[in-house]
Amino acid sequence: MRISTLFGQRLRQAPSDAGPTALQLALRVGLMRRTSQGAPALLPTGWRAIRRLQAIIRQELDALDGQELLLPLPKAVVSGLSGAAWPMLSDVAGGELARGSGTVEEAADLARQEIHSYRQLPALVYQFQTSFPHDPQGRPGLLGNQEQLMHEVFTFDQDAAGMARSCSRVSTAWQRVWERCGLSVRTVEATLGNVPAQAFMVSSPMGDDELVHCPACGYAATAVSARFRRSPSVAEQAQALALVETPGANTIEALARYLGISTDRTLKAVMYQDVDTGRLVFVAIRGDLAVNEAKLAHLLGGALLQVAPPEALQAAGAVGGYASPVGLRETLIVVDESVQDGVGLVGGANREGYHYWNVVLGRDYVADLVGDVALAREGDPCPHCGGSLHTERAVQLGQGAQLGTSRSETAGAQFLDESGRARHPYMGRYTMGLLRLFACIIDAHHDESGILWPQEVAPYQVHLVSLAHPGTPEEQRAEELYAALCEAGMQVLYDDRSERAGVKFAEADLLGAPGRLTISSRSLAQGGVEFKRRCEGQSQLVPLAPLSAILDLIGVGRPL
């Protein structure tokens, strides 16, 4: 590819609001551009890198006898994605195509049609598909979830043991993909309802997620599923509910100081409103803990929540700063596991300046839902070894889930086992965001001058810079070298422009091809062409003939 015809400009500087370094570089290099709808448009150079990522994935999954297919967008309606800001797509029959990556049903239906005997199992199919996941935050850029290019894998097995083996095989294949991309990816615990799941995370300051892990024993989990060892409540017999005056004690800390008690003897009230239904969601949690909003939304089935407005509190009978689950009207009461042991706590009385002593779940109020909605924080005890947990920003590349037979049962998929008995196949589903992977590669491989592409991912293997003047014999030699490299199967980016050497070298570093060849009257006078690795400071002279010497140095088939 000649730079003179390359679609996509290089920018001297990224836009001031570009965000993380990876996004800044993607914009400067001309890998992508922002669009009016929020999703990034991949320019030719960026799309070449994505295609190389897809090629690596295909190699690793085809080695597992995986087979690529393409599933249609699902027609299930995803809550919260209608309206002017998120117009629904329509199919030819006028039906709504939901924004969501729920292609499990389509995969299960294909299994119903195609898998009839145990001899056809295990089976593994995969696809690359654009999806529209539900993201209330509407994050833009490479990590944004309004539109994502996803890689999905579906596995089908005879039993749970086979499903677990398939999960391990897919995870191992993906680890090889990430290693070839020069990334260190951690497999951690995740939560997908009651389904055994794992998430794949890369530690990064640009991360839009949080990784919780224990350096002592290796426990690791996503923030939404992280557990911690809770201090037990003080065992005591519950006393009668009593009203006590607490003027000015409208925070947990102020309440504890006023009454001379520890915060773990208080009942914290955190209130949200379901954006879709308008219903007040009251969360009751022990006062020394904090609510994990991601866990809460997950417990509520992916509900979109906002801080409860004053009018919602008033309608339910709650008073801010003195709120209590006791006596609320038309409110969904969610109780954290920390307050379900029958121990009396000090909670609000829904009356300004007053609290209740000895509020007890089950006696004084009833929970609609009970679950773990507590936030694991830096320094909390590890649930396994008791060591201190550590939190850090991370990018979640994808997830894997062992779905069991629930989806195949719903679809009516069956196969005959060795004894001739009809059974439902066990399914697994694994998803990876390619734009997220793309961003993590750039984030992990750059310096102050630009990108340092890993050899197997680089849009171009070599950047050929010609310093020859137009119409000279030197220019002809540069053209001949470009043609020879292309004929040898190299992915070459040829800078054939009439620009100053400094400009060409700066753009070569910015674009980040693993190797750079520079041909000039000086190098030709010395009998060759200069070669420099992007990751090194020094160049060396290489003879023009034979071409194999240049190819060996560039490193065809081996990383630079």
Check residue 144 and give its pLDDT. Answer: 59
Are the CB atoms for 14 and 25 separated by under 8 Å? yes
Same-domain status, 356 and 398:
no
Angle formed at CA 331 by CA 325 and CA 332, multiple of 5 degrees:
90
Same-domain status, 546 and 501:
yes
Same-domain status, 350 and 211:
no
* 3 state SS of 261: coil
Same-domain status, 327 and 403:
no
Are the CB atoms for 174 and 432 separated by under 8 Å? yes
Query: Does 318 map to a domain?
Result: yes
Domain enclosing residue 351, as ranges: 242-371
Query: Does 408 map to a domain?
Result: yes
Query: Does 231 map to a domain?
Result: no
Query: Does 137 map to a domain?
Result: yes
Same-domain status, 435 and 464:
no
Are the CB atoms for 459 and 53 separated by under 8 Å? no
Residue at which a domain ends, from 371, 405, 430: 371
Q: What is the CATH number of the domain that holds 334?
A: 3.90.960.10
Q: How many domains does the chain have?
A: 3
Residue at which a domain ends, from 341, 371, 401: 371
Same-domain status, 253 and 195:
no
**Residues recorded for the chain:** 560
CA distances (Å), 206 to each of 23, 439, 444, in order?
10, 9, 11
Query: Does 3 map to a domain?
Result: no
Give the contacts of 110 (CB within 8 A, at least 6 positions apart). Answer: 69, 71, 125
Q: What is the CATH number of the domain that holds 208?
A: 3.30.930.10
Residue 413 dihedral angles phi and psi, to the nearest 5°: -80, 130
User: DSSP secondary structure string, 441-500?
Assistant: HHHHSEETTEE---TTT-S-SEEEEE-PPTTSHHHHHHHHHHHHHHHTT--EEEE-S---
Instruction: Tell me which H or E stretch contains 430.
Output: strand 426-433
Same-domain status, 156 and 188:
yes
Query: Does 560 map to a domain?
Result: no
Per-residue pLDDT of the chain (560 residues), as tens digits, is 999 999 999 988 888 777 888 889 999 999 999 877 667 889 999 999 999 999 999 999 999 999 999 998 765 434 333 333 333 333 333 333 333 446 899 999 999 999 999 999 999 999 999 876 654 444 445 565 556 789 999 999 999 999 999 999 999 999 999 999 999 999 999 876 567 789 999 999 888 888 999 999 999 999 888 999 887 766 566 789 999 999 999 999 999 999 999 999 999 999 999 998 999 999 999 999 999 888 898 888 878 899 999 999 999 999 999 999 999 988 999 999 988 766 789 999 999 999 999 999 989 999 999 998 999 999 999 999 999 999 999 999 999 999 999 999 999 999 999 999 999 999 999 999 999 999 999 999 999 999 999 999 999 999 999 999 988 999 999 999 999 999 999 999 999 999 999 999 999 999 999 999 999 999 999 989 999 999 888 889 999 888 888 888 776 444 33
Residue at which a domain ends, from 443, 475, 506: 443
- The residue among 181, 177, 180, 153 whose CA lies nearest residue 167 is 153
Q: What is the CATH number of the domain that holds 512?
A: 3.40.50.800
- The C-alpha atoms of residue 227 and residue 336 are separated, in whole angstroms, by 13
- The C-alpha atoms of residue 240 and residue 384 are separated, in whole angstroms, by 37
Same-domain status, 99 and 221:
yes
- The C-alpha atoms of residue 184 and residue 190 are separated, in whole angstroms, by 18
Same-domain status, 396 and 488:
no
Residue 347 dihedral angles phi and psi, to the nearest 5°: -130, 165
Same-domain status, 396 and 340:
no
Environment class of 194 (CB within 10 Å of its CB; exposed 0-12, middle 13-18, buried 19+): exposed
Query: Does 312 map to a domain?
Result: yes
Same-domain status, 317 and 289:
yes
CA distances (Å), 302 to each of 99, 120, 294, 336, 481, in order?
14, 36, 9, 17, 57
Check residue 99 and give its pLDDT. Answer: 38
Q: How far is CA 534 from the centre of its chain?
A: 29
Query: Does 296 map to a domain?
Result: yes
- The C-alpha atoms of residue 263 and residue 501 are separated, in whole angstroms, by 67
Same-domain status, 527 and 470:
yes
Q: At what angle do helices 473-487 and 547-554 cross, to 10 degrees?
A: 60
